[in-house]
Amino acid sequence: MAPEALPYPGLVLAGGASRRMGRDKAGLRLPDGRTLLEHALAVLAAAVTGPLLVSTAGPVPPGRLQTWARAAGRAVAVCPDLRPGRGPLEGIRSGLRAVAPAAWLAVLAVDLPGAAPALWIHLAPRAGDDGPVLPVAGDLRQPLAGFWPAAVLPALEAFLDQGGRRVQQLLQAVPVRWQPVTAAGMLVNCNTPAEWAAWTGHPAGARPPAPGVE
Pairing of strands 140-141, 76-80: unpaired
Query: Does 24 appear as a known binding residue?
Result: no
Long-range contacts of 173-178 (CB under 8 A, 24+ apart): 174/131, 174/132, 175/130, 175/131, 176/131, 176/132, 176/133, 176/134, 177/126, 177/129, 177/131, 177/132, 177/133, 177/134, 178/134, 178/135, 178/136, 178/141
Please give the DSSP secondary-structure letter assigned to residue 48.
B
Cβ pair 46, 5 in contact under 8 A: yes
10 carries a ligand binding annotation: no
How many CA within 13 A on the CB side of residue 134? Answer: 23
- To the question of whether residue 13 is assigned a binding role by annotation, the answer is yes
**Calpha distance 105→59 (Å, rounded):** 21
Taking the alpha carbons at both ends of the chain, their separation in whole angstroms is 20
Strands (E), the chain: 10-13, 52-56, 76-80, 104-109, 133-137, 140-141, 145-149, 177-180
| Residue set of the binding site | 13-15, 81, 111
| Residue set of the binding site for GTP | 13-15, 81, 111
| Residue set of the binding site for Mg(2+) | 111
